[in-house]
Structure 1
């Protein structure tokens, strides 16, 4: 696939990850969009879908090979997908990420930031906290 087509697919995949229910994400992935390529700002499609609680899109992206623990680098979009979902109490998205190998103990900001559990506790998202506690290796 040529570079120009890939850039267009990446842009469309990012837009779909932000707003679509997952149908468009799946179609773009079938068309050859790469779920591992961040946008021009450094935000990954998986991070975008996670922060918006788009669990169906998250499942499609993970099934297509998006790494569950990869940090985004875009301004305002720094961190891991699991931290992003936990920060906003998107429990279904947290479950999807955990089911595909996201590390519940991984601190964002290259190991210096908060864990997903700490984010969920700050937001007082009890259901999300419970899911993360059950998945945590130390079960705090």
Structure 2
């Protein structure tokens, strides 16, 4: 497959993971789309699935080899676990943690919020509980 074809497949996979169905994702992966490659805007398929809470697609991409901690850049920035945590997508959070996502990994190359902070800010109690059970610890607050 040439570079142009791969670029098109990547763009289509990110779109399918972000807005489409598991069947579309399956077809694109079978066609040779790489599950961990970012599109031209810097978004990864796993980030797209995580921010929308598509736990079935999250599991599918992880099984196909997507790294659970790859950070998206560009217009949509952040780690998949932070994205799912921010919106309280608990099933996607569980899938990411089961796939090896680091519950301590902060966005913005380690300088931004951690998944637990996003879940707390959004008042997503169930997501907070899942992250705490996975070993996430609150940031030390100055007194």
TM-score scaled by length of structure 1: 0.94
Q: Which residue of 1 aligns with 2:99?
A: 100
CA contact (8 A) 1:82 1:97 kept: yes
Higher alpha-carbon deviation: 118-127 or 8-17: 8-17
Q: Which residue of 1 aligns with 2:73?
A: 73
Residues 3-57 of structure 1 deviation map (CA, whole Å, 9 limit, x = unaligned)? 1221121111011001123111111111110012101011111111110111111
Runs of 4+ in 1 over 2 A off after TM superposition: 137-140
Q: Which residue of 2 aligns with 1:90?
A: 89
- Residue 22 (structure 2) pairs with residue 34 (structure 1): no
Per the alignment, do residues 55 and 138 of structure 1 end up closer, same or farther by CA in structure 2, a change over 3 Å counting?
A: same
Distance 2:84 2:74 in 1: 16
- Matched residue of 1:25: which SS? helix
Q: Which residue of 2 aligns with 1:134?
A: 133
Distance 2:115 2:138 in 1: 13
**Which structure dedicates a bigger proportion of its chain to strand?**
1
Aligned residues: 139
TM-score scaled by length of structure 2: 0.92
Distance 1:139 1:40 in 2: 34
- Matched residue of 1:73: which SS? coil
Superposed, 1:53-64 pairs within 5 Å as 53-64=53-64
Q: Which residue of 2 aligns with 1:17?
A: 17
- Matched residue of 1:72: which SS? coil
- Is there any run of 5+ residues in structure 2 with no aligned partner, and where? none
- Is there any run of 5+ residues in structure 1 with no aligned partner, and where? none
